[in-house]
Amino acid sequence: MKRGKPSGRWLGALITACPLLAAAWLLAYTLLRLPFLEPLGGWNYAGPLALILAVGVLGRAWHGEEYVRPTSTSRL
């Protein structure tokens, strides 16, 4: 099944960055109590949740190289 060319590297980087940013956001809000995060209140939990959900959406859009199954006579 042909799916076109593989996704760009930026998409993989974005998929990796979203959960890291979500974790940093939660840690900054709960442990550091930064003054610019305090007025957001409960949205400090909705923001990271949205980033985690975005990983699922972006993951569905990502596709890599087409896998070619090795034959029994191929060598590594």
Average pLDDT, the chain: 88
Kindly tell me if the per-residue pLDDT of 45 is higher than 60.
yes
Where b means 16+ CB within 10 Å and e means fewer, 32-55 reads eeeeebeeeeeebeebbeebeebb
Cβ atoms of 48 and 22 closer than 8 Å: yes
For residues 61 and 4, give the distance between their C-alpha atoms in angstroms, rounded to a whole number.
12
In a domain, residue 68? The reply is no
Is the pLDDT at 1 greater than 80? The verdict is: no
In a domain, 28, yes or no: yes
CA dist., res. 51 & res. 17, Å (int):
9
- Is 17 domain-assigned? yes
pLDDT at residue 20 tops 60? yes
- Within a domain: 53: yes
Taking a C-beta distance cutoff of 8 angstroms, is the pair 21, 54 a contact?
no
- pTM, whole model, 2 decimals? 0.75
In the chain, how many domains are there? Answer: 1
> Would the pLDDT of 75 be above 90?
no
